[in-house]
Amino acid sequence: MAMADAPKRSKAAMKAAASMTESLSGNADKSLKIRGMVFRSLLLFSMTIALIAIVAIISWAVVEGGQRLSWGLITNNPSSFRPETAGYRPAILGSIQIIAGVITLILPLGVGAALYLEQFANKERWYNKLIELNIQNLAGVPSIVFGILGLAFIVRGPLDLGFVAAAGSMTIALLVLPTVILSSREAIKAVPSSLLEGAMALGVTRWQAVWKMVLPAAAPGMLTGVILAVARAIGEAAPLLLVGASTFVTFDPNFWQDGYSALPVMIFQYAGRPQDEFKVLAAAGVIVMLGVVVIVNSVAVWLRARYERSW
C-alpha cells in the first residue's frame, strides 16, 4: 500500500516544487520590473531637470540679450564707457586663434596616440600601462588645474611664452586632448579586426594596413570626437583666466604677442560690471557663443551621419 502511494507523493512533491519555482521566478521578474521602472523614472527625472535648466538659461539669454543682437556686436570693439556700441570683435578673433591652435595640436597628437595605443603598443609594458593610466586620470581633472599647469610651464617655466594666445591654445589643447584620444580609440575599436587582418594577409605591413584601411574607416568617429572637443574648448574660461586672457583689449590680438582675450572671458568681464547695459551685453554674448557651439555640434552630427559605416 505504501509502495503504491509513493508515486503519488513524488508527483505531488514535483508539483509543489514546480509551483514554488514559478512563484520565485515570478517574484524575481516583478522585482526586476520594479527596479527597471524606478531606474527609468530617475533617468527621466534627471534629464527633465537638465533640460529645464538649459531652457531657462537660453530663455534668459534671449530675453535679456536679444535687444543687443546686431552685426555691430561682432564687428565692434569692446568699450568700458559706451556699452550701447560695444562689441566682441577682439574676443571673437582671439577665440578663433585659440581654437585654430587647439585643432592644430590635438588632431595629430590625439589621433597618433590613439593609433599607437590600439594598434602598435604592447599593453604588457609598464610605460604603456602608465600612459593608459594618465589618460584616464587626465580626462577627469578640473579645467582650472590645467590653467595652473599652463601658467607654471607654458606662460612661465620652461617654455616662457608669456601671456599670449599661443599659451592659451596649448593649455586648452592639454585640457581636451584626453577626450580626443578616448573618442579616437573607440572609433578604432569599432572597425572590424578582419579588415586589418585581411589587408595584412595580402602581404602589406601593419603600418600600411592601418594607414590605408583602419584610419579611413575610423576617420568619421575621430573627426566627430575632435569637433566635440573643440565645442567644449570654445566655452572654457577658467584656464584662460590664468594664462592671460583676462586682459581687456580693444585691438585685434596677435597669436604670438601679448594682449588677447576670448569670448567666454569677455562675457565674464561684462557680466561682472554693475551697469545693467553691460549685463545685457553679456547676455547677447551668451547667445553668440551658444550659436557657435550649436553650429559646431551640428557639424559633428552631420559628419557622423554622413560618413559612418555599419559593419
Model confidence pLDDT, tens digit, residues 138-174: 877 888 888 899 989 998 878 888 888 888 899 999 9
Predicted confidence (pLDDT) at residue 255 exceeds the cutoff of 50: yes
Q: Is the model's pTM score more than 0.85?
A: no
Range of the domain at 41: 16-67
Give the model confidence (pLDDT) of 3-32 as tens digits. Answer: 455 555 565 556 655 565 655 566 667 778
Domain presence at residue 8: no
Is 103 in the same domain as 21?
no
Mean pLDDT of 177-205: 86
What integer pLDDT is reported at residue 11 of this predicted model?
Answer: 58
Instruction: Tell me what the mean pLDDT of segment 31-46 comes to.
Output: 86
Rounded to whole angstroms, the Cα distance separating 45 from 39 reads 10
Q: What is the pLDDT of residues 286-300, one digit of tens each?
A: 888 888 888 877 877
> Quick one: residue 146, left, alpha or beta (phi over 0 = left, psi -120 to 50 = alpha)?
alpha
Total domains in the fold of the chain = 2
Q: Contact at 8 Å (CB) between 222 and 184? A: yes
Could you tell me if 86 and 269 are in contact, meaning their C-beta atoms sit under 8 angstroms apart?
no
pLDDT tens, residue by residue, 225-248 = 888 888 888 888 888 888 888 767
Q: Domain of 264: which CATH number?
A: 1.10.3720.10
Q: Three cell numbers at 38?
A: 524606478
Concatenated DSSP letters of 219-274: HHHHHHHHHHHHHHHHT--HHHHHTTTTS---S---TTSB----HHHHHHHHHTSS
Residue 9 covered by a domain: no
